[in-house]
Structures are given as structure tokens and as C-alpha cells.
Amino acid sequence: MTKPKVLISDKMDPNAAAIFRERGCEVDEITGLKPEELIAIIGQYDGLAIRSSTKVTKEILDAATNLKVVGRAGIGVDNVDIPAASAKGVVVMNTPFGNSITTAEHAIALMFALARQLPEANAQTQAGLWPKNGFMGVEVTGKTLGLIGAGNIGSIVASRALGLKMKVVAYDPFLTPERAVEMGVEKADLDTLLAKADFITLHTPLTSETRNILSAENLAKTKKGVRIINCARGGLVDEAALKDLLDSGHVAGAALDVFVTEPAKESPLFGTPNFICTPHLGASTTEAQVNVALQVAEQMADYLVTGGVTNALNMPSLSAEEAPKLRPYMALAEKLGSLVGQLAHDNLTKIAIEVEGAAAQLNPKPITGAVLAGLMKQYSQSVNMVNAPFLAKERGLDVREVRHDREGEYRTLVRVTVGTSQGERSVAGTLFGNGQARLVEIFGIGIEADLDGDMLYIVNTDAPGFIGSIGTLLGKTGINIGTFHLGRREAGGEAVLLLSVDSPVSEEVLAEARQVQGVRIVKALKF
């Protein structure tokens, strides 16, 4: 078996390459490549490990004919064209937790620097001025810290602030009351936080909802004398408005580690009294850089070797522990998606993926991704679990997941229902004890069948002699029947015949089959 091949294109801790090799990957470390140089060689690699220097553009992805995963050693993926990667079926991973402590500590450090005006005091002291009476700081003890974003980094900042005997008020739409109690913080809306906070620190990604969350309007709602720290993302704070409020004295101090434009060669804030800045140093500690390099290597190797997916930004996470349990379900789901796609792929408007029994206890996202991958193969042969949701969305397909706690006829069941111009069409399958996928229902008719290889699907009127007629037709055309599965609604009513055959069924044979008395629909299937 050929080993997956990985390119490390940015400088990383050397142990990252060692992890790739230990886990069964070949690895090349080639840094400082120009875009055209990367385009020339990327086609030979299955994985690309980067930091912030390499820009993974659509042009590079188009040349990456074997690429399966891009791993970013760090949290920000502004240098990766994620929509283009998704369309190509390339997983994009980051390492959101490797530099969490480092970034949180930097925010606390900047808070202290603001409270005691350390940079200015240092500069004047080193200039020989000895300004002992020129700087009057404030204590952080007893002050209120307003936390915008209470996720991983925000929660670490909160714990450090509580250790400093501060009060913490947190705004985060995803923060539950129970989690707030667990963290020891007060959950509040944004306006309440702005009115209460003596210090405000931001720990949220840059999205359409969070862009300029500290706008001129919101900055005006803060209490006089507030101090603001941003170690998250440039664009969360209106820099021009912050400059005005620093000049007016309403904001007592501000510290930014991030800017709207980076590198920040110029800014209206530069030179403003009580303003501190650092050049995006939140993750810049030895420990953090080692952590993210090792984590990205572990994650990428897991995906390339075992199929485990961790911290992916464009597909559901699937741990190495989950993968063995989910893999049989994903195989079943892909076959069900393929079946319903081959039989009802015209004018699809919606799709529902339902799980019940043992399947309902599992992470449904990989199952949904596998169904969509099977379905979307009717539109593109290069489809996989990464780009299938992208293709479904592109075609306006409404996707719904349903989990049932009920006990059904089968120990575990996956049902796929699509909406078509002729109404809803549904197929269902289960897993036998050995993990073998088995179809158990097709368009409301109970039928047990394996879905494998070349198959023939026939809808007919149930009548004596029909099976013999089909067998005779296939026999005279040299097509051998492997397995034979029959289901019907009622005696003499609509019936379904699924045959596995040892060779593909030609259009000429299909045309002959349509002439057999009682036949309504004939289709060749491929799994």
C-alpha cells in the first residue's frame, strides 16, 4: 500500500515531520516556496501542512490533483480558500486549542500593561526621565472584566481574571446559563456588558455577526474610563472610532495585538497616548508553536491513515475512536444515497436523513455527509464527504436531519427520503451484526438486498411467470444473475425486483426488458 505523502511548506517544529513518519506518512519539508513553485509540485502530495506564510489559493488547489487535506498549525485560516477547498473535496483543518493558553496569557499581560501604563513608563525611564509621579495606574482587583466571547480562549481568560479577584461579565450567544455558572461568570447581553465593564477583552472569531462588534455606536455605550484589549481578530473593533474615544478620554486605554490590515504598517491609532500594540503575538510562545505543529501533524496523519477527522472546518469531525463505529454506517448511508440518487435524481428539492435505534446514538453529521456523497455522485464523479454538502447547497437542496429515539422493527436503521416532482421517495437500510449493510425498504416496499456492484432494478405488476421471463431474457443475452431479491405491496399489486448481475446491463438489454409484459420501470444500477 502506498504511503500518503505530505508537504510541510512553512517552518514548523521538526517533531511535526517525525510524527508524520511515525504514523505512516512520507513527508517533505520545503519552505519559502513561491506560488508558482508550489503549483508545480503540489500535485504529488496528499496533505499540505502550513502556518500563515503559505497562501492556499484556488489556483494552488486546482493544481493539487491528489490533495486530500490542508492542515493549518494555528487557529486562523484566512490564508486558505475554504470554499475552493470544499468544492475540490479537500478537508481543511486547524488547531484551535494549541495556542489557547498563550493567547489568553497575552490578553492578561496587555490588561496589566494598560492598568499600569508599563510601555510608556519603561520608555521614559530608559530615556533618563525617571517619571515617578507621571503615571498613576489602577488596580485590577475588584474591577469588572467584560468578556466578549466565552469559548476556549475566553474561558481561560475568565479563570485567570477570577484568580485576580476580578468580576467577570460574559457576552456570548452560545453561552448557556449552566456553563456560565460553571465558569463563575455573569451571563449578560452586550449592552449590559458595555455598561458594566472596566476592562473589555475580545475572544471571538471574525464573522458577519461579529465584525465591528465594538463599533462607534457600541463604544459610545461603554462606561467612561474603560480599557479595551483585542487579541482575537482585526476587524472586531472600529479602529477610527477607538482613536476618537482615546483622544477624548472616554476610553482610558486600549491594547491591540491584531489589526484590520496586517502587517499594520500604519494605523490612526499609532502614536495615540494610552495605546499599546503588539504585532500579532498572541500565539507567539515556544510552547504554543510546538503544540500547534504537533497537533496538526497528528490530525492530518489520523485523517490520511485512519480516516479520523478532528478540527475540520468544512466537514464533521470524526475522531479516530469514532471512525470504526461510524464507518459501517457511512458505507450504508453512501449506498442509500447512491440508490435514491440513481432512482429519483431528477428535480430533487429536499432530502431528509433519519436515524433510529443504535444509529440514533451516533454523531449524525458523518452519516449525512455520506448520504450526500452517494447522492451527489450522480452529478460529479469527484464528489466526497467534503464537497457533497457544498454541491447540495449549490443546487438548492434542502437537507434535514432527524433523530428518532423510538425502537423500530430493526435494531438500527437509516432512512433517506427525497422530495421530487412526483412526490417523496424513501429508501431504508440496516446493518447486520457483522456490520454488513443491507437494504430493507425501497419506496415503501419491504425488500432485503445487498447493494453491491452492478444491479438491475425493475418495478412490475406481480404476476405468475414474470420472474421466469426476466431470467430467460438475461440468460439469452449472456448476463449471469448473482443474487435475486423480490418485494411487493400485495399479491397482484406493484412489485420490486432487485438483481445483482456479474456484468453491466447494456441499453439494448434494458430496452428489451421494458417490453416484457408487466414491466413498468427498468433501470441499471451501479454501486
* Distances, alpha carbon 332 to alpha carbons 328, 415, 438, in Å: 6, 10, 7
Residue with cell 500593561: 113
120 included as an active-site residue: no
8 A C-beta contact, residue 56 and residue 71:
no
Query: What is the phi/psi pair of residue 314, to 5°?
Result: -135, 20
> Taking a C-beta distance cutoff of 8 angstroms, is the pair 42, 9 a contact?
no
CA distance 461 to 519: 7
| Cell numbers linked to 219 | 463604544
485 labelled catalytic:
no
Compute the distance between CA of residue 274 and CA of residue 279 in angstroms, rounded to an integer. Answer: 17
Cα separation, 26 vs 18, in Å, equals: 10
Q: Which amino acid is at 336?
A: L
Annotation says 262 is catalytic: yes
Please pick, among 233, 334, 354, 415, the residue that the annotation labels catalytic.
233
**DSSP codes, 256-306:** ES--SSSS-S--TTTT-TTEEE-SS-TT-SHHHHHHHHHHHHHHHHHHHHH
Residue 339: CB atoms within 10 A of its CB come to 24
Tell me which of 227, 280, 354, 415 is the catalytic residue: 280
Q: For strands 251-256 and 226-230, give the pairing.
A: parallel
* Per-residue CA distances from 362 to 336, 413, 414, 427, 453 (Å): 18, 12, 12, 20, 28
- State the Cα–Cα distance between residues 356 and 354, nearest whole angstrom: 7
The one catalytic residue among 262, 287, 394, 409: 262
- The residue whose grid cell reads 466571547 is 149
Where in the sequence numbering do the catalytic residues fall? 233, 262, 280
